[in-house]
Amino acid sequence: MGARVDSDLERAIDDLVVANHILFDEHVVDAFGHVSVRHPDRPDHFLLSRSMAPSRVRAGDIIEHDENGAPVDANGRGVYLERFIHAEIYRARPDVASVVHSHSASVIPFGISRVELQPVFHMASFLHGATRFEIREGFGDATDLLIRDSEKGRYLARALGGACVSLLRGHGSVVVGRTLREAVYRAVYTEVNARIQTQAITLGTDVEYLSPAESEAATGANATQVGRCWDLWAEQAAARRKADAGLPH
């Protein structure tokens, strides 16, 4: 049992490192943003890297956090201020196994305007029902917009509700998935959909969005294809890092 648990944990850490690299390569995160996954042996705990740029994350940077977002094994490593996003969403959503928080540039305009982010193509069908989080409603208009404690994390988790995506006004978004790979897939296609939707709106004609029924059907179909995206993105991420290190492909 112990060997299997260790293997599961090692695999979760390795995949989390890859997830960080994919999200950077696909323009979802830059120097900021983070992705977590539930601990495979302690589902009330989660794994999240130390506070650093996602593209630089390696296995030794991954830290276990408890259900309140407190680091279990930081050993002097700095932790993300907004780890409470992850802790409180995991607490509220037992169906969620991974959380991505990002400030992807194409998504932010939908959080600061009255234009609703909606699925415009089948790969982003999960966006139907995306919610909005307005920190002013719970904490006034003088915060720094950051989810820096459990109270704000709980408020965000309530705003997310049962949706896959919530937009944080002036701050980006959170995306959740039933697996790490699904959360990464959704984070990437949230950014892509936002870019396409913006382009469609500029054409000056009415935009045709997916219907609720189309969204549900497409989401079911796409759930079987997440691995295809992950395999491609992971391969590309590994090749880029080999090239950066001057190693042969």
Q: pLDDT per residue over 54-101, tens digit each?
A: 999 999 999 999 999 999 999 999 999 999 999 999 999 999 999 999
**pTM for this structure?**
0.94
Please give the mean pLDDT across all residues of the chain: 95
Distance, in Å, from the CA atom of 42 to the CA atom of 159, rounded to the nearest integer, reads 26
User: Looking at the predicted structure, is the pLDDT value of residue 2 above 60?
Assistant: no
Contact 119, 75 (CB under 8 A): no
Percent share of the chain, pLDDT over 90: 92
Q: ∠ at Cα 228 (177, 217), nearest 5°?
A: 60
Query: Is 82 designated active site?
Result: yes
Task: Show the domains of the chain with their CATH numbers.
Answer: 2-230 (3.40.225.10)
Under the banding of pLDDT at 50, 70 and 90, the label for residue 1 is very low
For residues 194-229, one letter each, b for 16 or more C-beta atoms within 10 angstroms of the residue's C-beta and e for the rest, the string is: bbbbbebeeeeeeeebbeeeebeebbeebeeebeeb
Which pLDDT does position 35 carry in this prediction? 98
Compute the average pLDDT of residues 15-32.
98
pLDDT of residue 246: 76
User: What is the residue type of 107?
Assistant: V
Res. 14: pLDDT tops 70: yes
Two tokens, residue 71: 């680091």
**Catalytically annotated residue among 64, 82, 88, 191:** 82
What's the rounded mean pLDDT across residues 96-115? 97
Q: What integer is the mean pLDDT of 236-241?
A: 92
